[in-house]
Amino acid sequence: MAIFKGSGVAIVTPMYENKEVNYDKLGEILEEQIAGGTDAIIICGTTGEASTLTHEEHLDVIRYAVEKVNKRLPVIAGTGSNCTETAVYLSQEAEKYGADAVLLVTPYYNKATQKGLIAHFTRIAESISIPVILYNVPGRTGCNILPETAAYLGKHVKNIVGIKEASGNISQVAELMRLAEGSLELYSGNDDQIVPILSLGGCGVISVLANVAPGQTHEIVSSYLEGDVKRSCRLQLEALDLIHALFCEVNPIPVKKAMNLLGKEVGPLRGPLTEMEEEHARRLAKAMKDYGLEVEA
């Protein structure tokens, strides 16, 4: 059984102006996501600025989210690292806190061979008992999980049960699903490819868009899974301008700006990320308004 079906939000980590984590605001947006129809919470992923959280902050944010959500939705903790033993530590701690699953990004900077990826993910998965979702995002990590590698892991490591595919390569995803033979649940990692991924057997999305449009993102997936493919496709296409604006600068710069434009007050970004360029911010605000979101002046 899938950890979740539908729209999982890759949630932002709110900050005070001094760039400390704003737990009160995190609690507010978690409640809003639950009320808004989101199907799962993904905490401390790329969108959550996990790479600039200390280990202590990283684990505190996971623990807070697990306790706040309190089993109302699955909470999936981003615990990946380019250091295998660090990822083991973070994953074991997330399991202790009650996370329902972990999301493991491919090693970045030092990267890995395909043999190294198998060893890395196997070591982490075997150190815990909760499910693992692999996260393939070569555009950010410089490391691509080939279809053969993902299929091997899905078939040979019992708790590696899913993959978030953000390679953007639909042909690669199709080959992965052919080779996996049902051993991996597939989630879109790109908001502009939700419907194409669902058409290849996907069961949902891990979404940036859902931060600002949780109900609409849920509907894209639920319409497809309920058999209304035309409605799902229409909703996907209607969201494209906003999705493109949300990625006109590196994630999560635009989505944090978007949430602040909605009055969510999620605060600034940690370096090396910087505030959005004014030209891009105007484009984002227009796309939000065109999509029907209420942007503050």
- Residues 159, 129 contacting (CB under 8 angstroms): yes
Task: Give the rounded percent of residues in the chain with a pLDDT score beyond 70.
Answer: 99
Quick one: pLDDT at residue 296?
A: 79
Residue 96 identity: K
Is 135 marked active-site? Answer: yes
Q: Which residues pair with 42 in a beta bridge?
A: 10, 76
What burial letters (b/e) apply to 25-63, b meaning 16+ CB within 10 Å? bbbbbbeebbebbbbbbbbbbbbbbbbebeeebbbbbbb
How do residues 22-73 score in pLDDT, each as one tens digit? 999 999 999 999 999 999 999 999 999 999 999 999 999 999 999 999 999 9
Domain ranges of the chain: 6-226
How do residues 245-286 score in pLDDT, each as one tens digit? 999 999 999 999 999 999 999 999 999 999 999 999 999 999
Which CATH number is associated with domain 6-226? 3.20.20.70
Question: What are the Cα distances from residue 14, in Å, to 40, 97, 210?
Answer: 18, 21, 15
pTM: 0.96
In angstroms and rounded to an integer, the radius of gyration of the C-alpha atoms of the chain is 18
Task: Catalytic residue, from 25, 68, 152, 164: name it.
Answer: 164
How do residues 98-150 score in pLDDT, each as one tens digit? 999 999 999 999 999 999 999 999 999 999 999 999 999 999 999 999 999 99
How do residues 201-246 score in pLDDT, each as one tens digit? 999 999 999 999 999 999 999 999 999 999 999 999 999 999 999 9
Task: Catalytic residue, from 135, 152, 187, 291: name it.
Answer: 135
